[in-house]
């Protein structure tokens, strides 16, 4: 990214005063978030780590253990697709629990996974036995290096460290049913679990990130999505926990700590049960956890939602005559399993409903490893073509053909990441 401050100013001016010319990708995002809209609807980079690994054909046993390889691979794949703002992610739920000694399952083809059948925390006494996280253990140094490299590779204000938020950590450490039983039946134990997660497991990791110069860190919390937790439970347990971590990070580390990302995300799977009132409650709670006020959707079955509801919520809760920005996430499985035409039709529908008055950002919740690249390319092309301001009166008149793209390997030749990626593919002799 060029000078981030200039990009912010350019976005601010375009979005609020003078919508003239073409914006850089990051200024486009700032214009959308802080003004009415940019030149086109931006498409933010999704969580793409295992998909990027698959596209670049690098082995999982190297990729998830080598910060340089992971960052370079994602930067290259995200640029190949053409997302407006890059984002580096990894299997960020696993780092703290792995360093504390949880049994992990490693594979040649997929990300490391916690073996939830052998929980790290079975009873209260385990909290004392485990003690505090040692930041030299497991892949904590790799996680710190990923965060450091993200900041040096041009992500600018979008660079951040990653960690596992407290409730998700608890679920991975005890199993989800036990975590929920504690919240419902044994709040004293639940408080001990949160205290352990925040202060003994997560904070030492944040401290290590801060020592490496990381200025902000984001904690994913998919286990706290609805219906795993009700919005009321998120409000009671997850929001205060996130605020505690935020406060401690600010005070002791001078770091912006954002826990609870994806908590209260509406993830009901059964379309017959979609409920506007519950969705509104979820989005209202989500707002308490976000660094800036917006309507956020991440992992839900959004392809089957009535997007008029999202628009209504954003308009209703907006200020100064402007709706809240909408972070509209195409469901990852939808992107994987649909035809390019179905994806284009869905994007057309969404831009028609939510894009005309601006403040719309596209995103994909999580691009599955085996999603066809043509679908991702087509989604980007469709958003950038259909989402050009002023939005065309008749979007159905704009045709989008499945995107013809240069194969990744061909494109990669001559790119700065080429050597690292090609070398990683070589088998040890």
Partner 1 sequence: MGEELYQVISKAVTEGEEEEAVRKVEEALKSGLPPIEIMQRGIVAGISKAGELWKANEYFLPDVIMAADAFKAAMAILKPRLKEGEGVRKGKKIVMGVVQGDVHDLGKSLVIAMLTSAGFEVIDLGIDVPLQKFIDAAREHQPHILGLGAYMTTTMLEMKGIIAELEKQGLRRKLKVMVGGVPTSQEFADQIGADAWGKDALDAIQKALKL
Interface ranges with partner 1 (CB under 8 A): 116-117, 175-177, 180-181, 183-185, 226-230, 233, 269-270, 273, 275, 278, 301, 333
Geometric angle at alpha carbon 300, from 343 and 180, rounded to 5°: 160
Q: Minimal distance in Å, beta carbon 236 to partner 1?
A: 12
- 248 or 333, CB closer to partner 1? 333
Long-range CB contact pairs, 49-53, < 8 A, 24+:
49/74, 49/88, 49/89, 49/90, 49/91, 49/111, 50/110, 50/111, 50/368, 50/369, 51/77, 51/367, 51/368, 51/369, 51/371, 51/376, 52/76, 52/77, 52/78, 53/369
Q: Minimal distance in Å, beta carbon 90 to partner 1?
A: 19
Q: Minimal distance in Å, beta carbon 365 to partner 1?
A: 11
- 41 or 367, CB closer to partner 1? 367
Q: Minimal distance in Å, beta carbon 114 to partner 1?
A: 11
Q: Minimal distance in Å, beta carbon 223 to partner 1?
A: 10
Picking from 357, 325, 381, 382, the residue whose alpha carbon sits closest to that of residue 30 is 325
Instruction: Provide the CB-side half-sphere exposure for 195 (13 A, CA).
Output: 10
Q: Minimal distance in Å, beta carbon 361 to partner 1?
A: 24
- 232 or 401, CB closer to partner 1? 232
Q: Minimal distance in Å, beta carbon 106 to partner 1?
A: 15
Q: Minimal distance in Å, beta carbon 278 to partner 1?
A: 6
Q: Residue 72 and residue 150: Cα distance in Å, rounded?
A: 9
- 278 or 284, CB closer to partner 1? 278
Q: Residue 413 and residue 212: Cα distance in Å, rounded?
A: 32
- 3 or 275, CB closer to partner 1? 275
- 117 or 136, CB closer to partner 1? 117
400 touches 382 (CB < 8 A): yes
| Alpha-carbon distance values, 357 to 105, 166, 324, 343 (Å) | 47, 37, 11, 22
187 touches 111 (CB < 8 A): no
Q: Residue 270 and residue 274: Cα distance in Å, rounded?
A: 7
Q: Minimal distance in Å, beta carbon 281 to partner 1?
A: 11
Q: Is 247 exposed, middle or buried (0-12, 13-18, 19+ CB in 10 A)?
A: exposed
- 177 or 414, CB closer to partner 1? 177
Q: Residue 294 and residue 362: Cα distance in Å, rounded?
A: 13
146 touches 67 (CB < 8 A): yes
- 278 or 392, CB closer to partner 1? 278
Q: Residue 320 and residue 36: Cα distance in Å, rounded?
A: 11
- 185 or 251, CB closer to partner 1? 185
Q: Minimal distance in Å, beta carbon 230 to partner 1?
A: 5
- 122 or 184, CB closer to partner 1? 184
Picking from 292, 357, 368, the residue whose alpha carbon sits closest to that of residue 323 is 357
Q: Minimal distance in Å, beta carbon 277 to partner 1?
A: 9
Q: Residue 44 and residue 65: Cα distance in Å, rounded?
A: 26
Sequence-ordered alpha helix ranges (H) in 131-199: 140-152, 166-174, 176-185, 187-195
Q: Residue 89 and residue 48: Cα distance in Å, rounded?
A: 7
Hey, what are 122's tokens? 């079975």
**Residue spans of beta strands (DSSP E) within 230-319:** 256-261, 295-296
- 203 or 334, CB closer to partner 1? 334
């Amino acid at each position: 990214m060029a000078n981030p401050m200039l990009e912010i100013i350019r976005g601010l001016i375009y979005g609020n005063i003078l919508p003239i010319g073409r914006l850089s990708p990051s200024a486009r995002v700032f214009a959308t978030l802080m003004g009415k809209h940019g030149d086109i609807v931006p498409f933010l980079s999704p969580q793409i780590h295992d998909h990027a690994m698959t596209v670049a054909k690098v082995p999982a046993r190297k990729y998830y253990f080598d910060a340089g390889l992971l960052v370079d691979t994602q930067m290259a794949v995200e640029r190949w697709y053409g997302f407006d703002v890059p984002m580096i992610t990894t299997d960020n739920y696993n780092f703290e629990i792995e360093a504390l000694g949880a049994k992990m399952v490693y594979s040649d083809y997929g990300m490391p996974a916690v073996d939830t059948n052998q929980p790290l925390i079975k009873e209260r006494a385990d909290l004392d036995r485990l003690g505090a996280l040692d930041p030299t253990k497991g892949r904590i140094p790799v996680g710190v290096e990923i965060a450091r490299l993200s900041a040096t590779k041009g992500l600018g204000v979008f660079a951040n460290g990653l960690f596992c938020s407290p409730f998700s950590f608890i679920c991975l450490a005890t199993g989800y049913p036990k975590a929920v039983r504690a919240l419902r039946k044994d709040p004293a134990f639940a408080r001990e679990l949160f205290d352990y997660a925040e202060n003994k497991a997560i904070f030492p990791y944040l401290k290590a990130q801060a020592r490496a110069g990381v200025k902000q860190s984001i904690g994913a919390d998919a286990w706290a999505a609805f219906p795993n937790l009700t919005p009321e439970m998120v409000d009671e347990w997850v929001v205060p926990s996130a605020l505690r971590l935020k406060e401690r990070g600010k005070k002791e580390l001078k770091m912006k700590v954002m826990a609870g990302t994806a908590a209260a995300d509406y993830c009901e799977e059964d379309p017959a049960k979609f409920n506007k009132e519950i969705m509104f409650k979820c989005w209202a709670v989500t707002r308490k956890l976000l660094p800036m006020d917006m309507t956020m959707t991440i992992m839900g079955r959004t392809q089957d939602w009535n997007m008029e509801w999202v628009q209504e919520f954003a308009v209703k809760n907006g200020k100064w005559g402007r709706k809240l920005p909408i972070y509209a996430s195409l469901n990852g499985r939808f992107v994987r399993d649909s035809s390019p035409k179905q994806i284009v039709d869905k994007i057309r529908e969404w831009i028609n409903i939510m894009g005309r008055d601006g403040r719309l950002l596209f995103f994909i919740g999580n691009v599955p490893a085996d999603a066809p690249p043509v679908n991702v390319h087509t989604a980007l092309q469709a958003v950038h073509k259909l989402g050009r301001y002023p939005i065309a009166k008749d979007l159905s008149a704009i045709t989008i053909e499945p995107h013809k793209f240069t194969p990744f390997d061909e494109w990669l030749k001559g790119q700065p990441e080429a050597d690292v990626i090609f070398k990683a593919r070589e088998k040890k002799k």
